[in-house]
Each structure stands twice: as structure tokens, then as C-alpha cells.
Structure 1
Amino acid sequence: MPRTVLITGASSGFGAATARLFAAHGWNVVATMRRPEMGDGLAALDSVMVARLDVEDPASIGAAVDAALARFGRIDVLVNNAGFGLFGVFESTPPAKVREQFAVNLFGLMDVTRAVLPHFRANRSGTIVNVSSGAGAFALPMISLYCASKFALEGFSESLSYELAPLGIAVKVVEPGGVVTTGFGRRSAEEAASAPPPADYAPFVAAAAALFDGLRASRGGATSEQVAETIFAAATDGTDRLRYVATDDIRPLLAARRETSEDAYIAFMRERFTPGTAG
């Protein structure tokens, strides 16, 4: 029988590309999103069910899992993809936005995972793929809260993998870098515009913006489809590997983080990502 994947945040970007890829490989797909009307294109595909799931609404999580089991009988893979990024200096970010960052990127992911785990335990099988970021391994200026949420996701995923391995359940982490075919950057810019920083930060913010513009111009054109390929590989390779790098642009930074000394790493990052001091 076809296997079934449940994907969060499937209305666009990585989630939509991943839903299409699994469907192309003959899987049953439960494509979940906050606004199901945005999934009409996916719903037209064979063996794809679009369901409402807002990771900040526990009732919608339970309803989506129940609907998936009623339609397809089982879930084999969970892809926790829903997320967004705050861009801007920490001091100017309202506390409510800080809580939202963690509610979506971490606590919502935990709630969806908790809802699926009883089914995985009963089957003594299942794979959880958590979409992280290069910013879950190394930190960059202007995205401190996004980094914090993804660092937490990475630690949670690794710890959870030890708990679940004896039950036949695998946990995988996919780390994308800069991708040109998502709405991520647009939402980050909108969030930043809603919380302008104190004037003292202006020189730093301007220099950091120029730095990120340079990075975007030089890193190439990774796509959501490429990230979806990595997600699919993580879900289906049958190994106990934990982390998967999805785009080449972050490999130098990951190598600096994971393959050098702490002092060498910090020196490397400060040289590249400290565009000047505020004031």
C-alpha cells in the first residue's frame, strides 16, 4: 500500500514543493496549512488531501491528524515544515512577536509531533523530519530570535531522536540556507518594517542590510524543489543519520562551526558578519 506523509506549512515554499514531490513518488499526502483555500492546486493532485492545521491551534492539529488517519489509515512520515523568521534587532522586537516566533517554530512543532507519536508508537515505526535552517547551527546578526528558535529545534530534535530510536521511530533534521523561491524573505521584511529599531542601531542595520544583500547576490539560486529533494531523501533513506544539509551556500559556515575550534569559528564569523559597531 502507498505510504502516507503529513506535511505542515504546505501552502507554499518548501512545504508545497515537498507535497508535490511525495505525490509524484506515489505517496499519499496530507498537505496541511492555516488557510486550506491556498491548497487548491495541491488538492487537484491524486492522493493529496488538503487539511487545515494551524500549529498555534491545538484543536486543528488533532483534527488534521484524525482526518489523515480516517482517509489513509496510517501516517508513515511527519514533515514539520511550518515556520517563519523575524528580522531585526532584538531590542526593538515586541515581546508578543518573540512569543509568536517560538510558538510557530518550536512549540507548534512539538504539539504536532506529540499528536502523531501515539500512532507511530503503535506501529513501532515512523519518521519525523524537522525543517531547521543553517541558522540553527550558526548565528547571524539581525535574526537573533529566529536563530534562537532554530537552535532550540535542533537540540530538541537530537534529544528526541535518542528517546524514539528504541521504538523504531527516526528523527531527521534538514538544514536549508538561502532559498529564492519562498515567501520567507518577504514576511521577514514585513515583520522588520513593523518594528523599527532605535536610532542608535541605524549604522549597524544599514551595514548588515548591505551585507545580506551581498550574500543574496552571491549565493546562487537554490530552490524549494532542491530542498524538497533533501527532505524526501531524509524521509526515505532508511538510515539513522540525523542531519542533512539542503543547500550548498551554508556549507562553509557549517564547516567553520562543526570542523574548527571555537576560537577559530568565532573569529571567522566576526570577520564576516560584524559589519561595524552601533553608534
Structure 2
Amino acid sequence: MQKTIFITGTSSGLGKTTAKLFQSKGWNVIATMRNPEAETELTQLENVTVLKLDVANPQELKETIDYVLENYKVDVALNNAGYGLVGPLEAFTDDQIKLQIETNLMGVIRITKAFTPYFRERKEGVLINITSSFGLIGFPTCSIYSATKFAVDGFSECMGYELAQFGIKVKVVAPGGIQTDFAGRSLDGAQHATYQKLMSKVQEGYSPEQVANYSTPEDIANVVYEAATDGKDQLRYVAGKDANTLYNERAEIGAEAQVQKIKSDFKF
């Protein structure tokens, strides 16, 4: 029987690549995005339905998911939509902080809540949340972004315990750097003169030379597909060489030692 995946944030990058991968594997794909009228690629694919959804809009979110659950049999829900707010905390406005939380955290919570009774009644289903290596390990200039991603990781772990009794699996895919246009399309930031040296040091990680070493969207999409189909009761899937290096280093030397190591890299 053909399976169906619901995905947020599919207009480009990892979301679009994941939608195309599942479609190529014979899945029915419900691909959501803020501006579906601008989409020209996914709309041409068989068994792909493109719907409008801004995860930061609670009313639109409810209406879209109500429609989906009335018209489709969903097996996997993938929370992929998100963006990065990068810069020193002093430079952010309240509006920037609120939008980051609404998009990266509240969107995940609301979608999970909407799908939970549906999966509970069916006694099966997989909820997958895209976090980040910076949702497992902190990094300078990522305070609010990491706050949301750490929160999604903790939320996912708790929901995994809560929903296990109903046969529902909750999983997290935590990528490192990805070779997408994320830095230009899904990155917001703010500058503060006092932190200019720090910002310059951090921005070295976004140089073309560094980005060339990151995972491809296809690499990470394959990890998402693995999480959706492997049948394992596994919570975290750390995706990408850089993410695994950081994660394994923390396990090997301990969290405090790694914190001091990262601090030393950014002392001036």
C-alpha cells in the first residue's frame, strides 16, 4: 500500500529535496510551503500535492491540517520548516525573537498536537522533527536559534515517551551544515559593533570553502528517509560528518570540556 508523508517547508533546500526523494520512492507526498503559487517543480510531479502553509500562522496551520486529515491517510509527518536567526542577543528585536520561536518551535508543537490524536487513534505513525547540530551543542551568535532547536529536541524526547504507548514513534534528525541556499534564503541576522570580531570569526564557517565541505541536501534527505522507514525505536539521527564529529567529541571528552574548547576558539 502506498504511504503518505506530510512535509513542511518544501519550497527549496532540504524540504524540497526530501519531498522529491520520497516521491521517487513511490510515496504520496503532501508538500506545504508559504507561497505555493511560486512553485514550479513539485507541482509537476506525480503523487505530490502542494498546499499553502505558514507554520507561524496558527489559523492557517489548523485549516490546512484539518483538510489533510480529512482527505488523506498520513503515515509520517515531517516538521522541516524553519529559519536561522544569527547574531548577538543584544542586537535582536523582540519581533525577531518572537518570529524565531513561532516558526521553529511553536510550529512544531502545533503540528505535533494536530497529528497526535490522528496517529493515536490509528495506533501508528511517525513524527520527525528537523533540528540541528546546534540543537545539541551551543555555538556563538546562535542563542535564539539554538534555544528553539534545543527546545524541539527536548520536546521530541518527551513526546516520544508520551506517545510510545500508542505505537507512535517520535524522531529527531539533527543535521550539521548543508549545501543549500539556507544562508541567503532562510537566515536572518543583526549586527552589533561590539561583537564584530566574533561575528567575523563565525562567518568564516559560511565561506564558500567551508560550505563545500558540508553535506548535500540529498545526504540529509537520505537520513530522513531512513528515520521514516527503518522501523527502529530510535530518537536521534545525527546527520552529516561535521555534526557527528561535534556530537561524538562531546560524548568522548564530556560536555564541559567541549564548552571550554569552543570558548577558547572564540577568545580574542
Q: Is the 8 A contact 1:78 1:128 kept in 2?
A: yes
Superposition deviation, residue 187 in structure 1: 3.8
- Any idea what the Cα deviations from partners look like across 1:166-209, whole Å, max 9, x if unmatched? 1110001001111112x3211465x22xx321x22223323333
Is the aligned partner of 1:185 residue 2:183?
yes
The residue that corresponds to 1:148 in the other structure is 147
Amino acid at match of 1:84: Y
Q: Contact (CA 8 Å) 1:164, 1:170: kept in 2 or not?
A: yes
1:207 to 183, 187, 201: 201
Q: Report the CA distance between 1:270 and its aligned residue.
A: 2.0
**Equivalent residue letter for 1:168:** G
Q: Offset at 1:143? A: 1.3
SS at match of 1:140: coil
Give the corresponding residue for 1:139: 138
SS in structure 2 at match of 1:5: strand
Cα distance change, pair 216–120 in 1 and its aligned pair in 2 (3 A): farther
Cα distance 1:214–1:13, how it changes in 2: closer, same or farther (>3 A)? closer
- In structure 1, give the amino acid aligned to 2:261: F
* Residues 171, 242 of structure 1: 8 Å contact kept: yes
C-alpha contact 2:176 2:214 (8 A) present in aligned 1: no
Task: Please give the alpha-carbon distance, in whole angstroms, between the structure 2 residues aligned to 1:104 and 1:132.
Answer: 12
1:257 partnered with 2:250: yes
Distance 1:253 1:209, change over 3 A: same
Cα distance between partner residues in 1 of 2:243 and 2:230: 22
Distance 1:169 1:104 in 2: 24
2:75 alignment partner AA: D
The amino acid of 1:169's aligned partner reads I
> Is residue 260 of structure 2 the alignment partner of residue 267 of structure 1?
yes
Partner of 1:44 in structure 2? 44
SS of 1:2's partner is coil
Alpha-carbon contact 1:178-1:219 (below 8 Å) kept: no
Separation of aligned partners in 2, 1:17 and 1:143: 25
Identity of aligned residues (%): 40
Change (3 A) 1:218 1:12: closer
* Map of 1:33 onto structure 2: 33
Secondary structure, in 3 states, of the residue corresponding to 1:79?
strand
Asked whether 1:240 is paired with 2:233, we answer yes
Aligned residue number for residue 58 of structure 2: 58
Q: Is the CA contact 2:82–2:103 (under 8 Å) kept in the aligned structure 1? A: yes
Which deviates more, 63-72 or 162-171?
Answer: 63-72
- Provide the alpha-carbon RMSD of the alignment: 1.8
Structure 2 residue runs without a partner (length 5+) = none
SS class of match (1:40): coil
Rounded Cα–Cα distance in structure 2 between residues aligned with 1:140 and 1:219 = 20
Whichever residue aligns with residue 203 of structure 1, its letter is K
**Structure 1's 174 and 201: CA in aligned 2 closer, same or farther, altered over 3 A?**
same
**Structure 1 residue 244 displacement after superposition:** 0.5
- Which 10-residue stretch deviates more, 18-27 or 216-225? 216-225
Query: What one-letter code is carried by the residue in structure 1 that aligns with 2:235?
Result: L
Look up the match of 2:163: 164
Query: Aligned-pair distance for 1:112?
Result: 1.0
**TM-score, normalization by structure 2:** 0.94
